[in-house]
């Protein structure tokens, strides 16, 4: 354990981000240095337009990410495939053999940003999922039902009953990550489940609840999917993240959108936290009196689940106040990060 802690400084093994949106093209070049500064590796989400559905497309995307990395920075993109109703089981074998595709992602069709090509009915994918189970390829799940009749705030809890339980009954050895969990239902489900299941938790779901979306007016930069929930759920996520349970690990879900796409009559879902993710997590763990649990959550549990080695370098977080920028460039436009213009209490050196 490399954890060295004083009241004002915390040195931990370099962390990884197990859920990240990097986009593509000029936007990729804008955001990549932020994540590369904070994290050694990241699970890169495949919801591009068109989505990354093949190993060949993942290889090309990986090359574009590495080409966009500024000189002198190190960062390893861990690639994923986007599951569709038609993903061929052989594509999973190719992905597994590639050595650089580390997981397959479920977007229920219509659930979130760029999910139109997603899965309409998971039972159509069972042949493909069986091969993933056989090869030990993790299945990363955006866990919300898309049924318009289900209340937006209940979609994760209903997903557990309608999709997660039947899936795990039918494929009990499939490795699953319940991504960006937002409810006590999901935290409890994962903590109590038998078998190979884990969950990522974002920094913003540890720090905020649904009141923050509406504080003094509508605040689009706090809108993401799954949407922030009520305080009891936030508290359950904090308990899970700080418990030391290896099933819970860090995934920022940092999701860049141009300012105009967020500050709009019908704004996009996604919070941008890549600039200050570790500072946010440190704040959340400190408030819970659990800074000593941050290293395992951020740097050990993820590699363990993905069968990857831990990073060997360290990073240091210092208690030092600084102010988040109001905007940062995003290709030809700009994005507004979460906490824009606010004071941050920790600083990653
Ligand atoms: N989390 C979000 O609100 N948005 C993500 C998609 C996702 O992770 O669901 C995005 O790609 O913008
Ligand atoms: Zn998602
Ligand atoms: Zn995401």
Half-sphere exposure (Cβ direction) of 263: Cα atoms closer than 13 Å: 9
Tell me, yes or no, whether 341 lies in a domain: no
Catalytic center residues: 253
Would you tell me the crossing angle of helices 89-98 and 126-135 to the nearest 10 degrees? 30
Tell me, yes or no, whether 10 lies in a domain: no
> What total of structural domains would you count in the chain?
1
Each residue of 241-290: pLDDT tens digit?
999 999 999 999 999 999 999 999 999 999 999 999 999 999 999 999 99
pTM of the model: 0.98
Tell me, yes or no, whether 338 lies in a domain: no
Each residue of 169-197: pLDDT tens digit?
999 999 999 999 999 999 999 999 999 99
Tell me, yes or no, whether 301 lies in a domain: yes
Determine whether the shortest distance from the Cβ of 202 to ligand 1 is under 6 A.
no
Determine whether the shortest distance from the Cβ of 184 to ligand 1 is under 6 A.
no
Ligand 1 probe mutation, 19, 109, 112, most atoms within 8 A of CB: 112
Those residues whose beta carbon sits under 5 angstroms from the ion ligand 2 are: 112, 142
204 is in an annotated binding site: no
Tell me, yes or no, whether 329 lies in a domain: no
User: What is the CATH number for 201?
Assistant: 3.20.20.140
Residues in Cβ contact with 199 at an 8 Å cutoff, skipping those fewer than 6 apart? 177, 178, 179, 181, 186, 187, 190, 240, 247, 248, 249
Determine whether the shortest distance from the Cβ of 270 to ligand 1 is under 6 A.
yes
Tell me, yes or no, whether 278 lies in a domain: yes
Tell me, yes or no, whether 347 lies in a domain: no
Each residue of 287-343: pLDDT tens digit?
999 999 999 999 999 999 999 999 999 999 999 999 999 999 999 999 999 999 999
Tell me, yes or no, whether 114 lies in a domain: yes
Domain membership of residue 25 as a residue range: 15-312
Complex prediction ipTM? 0.98
């Amino acid at each position: 354990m490399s954890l060295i802690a004083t009241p004002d400084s915390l040195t931990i093994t370099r962390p990884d981000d197990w859920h990240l949106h990097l986009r593509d093209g000029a936007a990729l070049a804008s955001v990549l240095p932020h994540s590369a500064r904070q994290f050694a590796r990241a699970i890169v989400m495949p919801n591009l337009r068109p989505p990354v559905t093949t190993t060949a497309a993942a290889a090309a995307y990986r090359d574009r990410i590495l080409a966009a990395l500024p000189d002198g920075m190190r960062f390893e993109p861990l690639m994923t495939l986007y599951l569709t109703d038609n993903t061929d089981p052989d594509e999973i074998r190719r992905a597994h053999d590639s050595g650089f595709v580390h997981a397959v992602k479920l977007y229920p069709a219509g659930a979130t940003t760029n999910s139109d090509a997603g899965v309409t009915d998971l039972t159509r994918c069972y042949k493909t999922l069986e091969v993933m189970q056989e090869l030990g390829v993790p299945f990363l799940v955006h866990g919300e039902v898309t049924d318009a009749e289900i209340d937006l705030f209940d979609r994760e809890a209903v997903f557990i009953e309608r999709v997660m339980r039947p899936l795990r009954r039918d494929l009990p050895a499939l490795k699953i990550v319940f991504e960006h969990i937002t409810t006590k239902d999901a935290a409890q489900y994962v903590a109590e489940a038998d078998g190979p299941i884990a969950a990522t938790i974002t920094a913003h779901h540890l720090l905020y609840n649904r009141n923050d979306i509406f504080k003094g007016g509508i605040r689009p930069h706090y809108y993401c999917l799954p949407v922030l929930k009520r305080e009891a759920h936030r508290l359950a996520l904090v308990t899970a993240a700080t418990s030391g349970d290896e099933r819970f690990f860090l995934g920022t879900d940092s999701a860049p959108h141009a300012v105009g796409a967020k500050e709009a009559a019908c704004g996009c879902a996604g919070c941008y936290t890549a600039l200050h993710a570790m500072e946010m997590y440190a704040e959340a763990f400190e408030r819970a009196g659990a800074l000593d649990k941050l290293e395992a959550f951020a740097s050990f549990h993820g590699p363990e689940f993905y069968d990857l080695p831990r990073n060997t370098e360290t990073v240091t977080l210092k208690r030092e106040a600084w102010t988040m920028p109001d905007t940062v460039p995003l290709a030809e436009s700009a994005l507004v990060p979460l906490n824009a213009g606010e004071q941050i209490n920790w600083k990653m050196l």
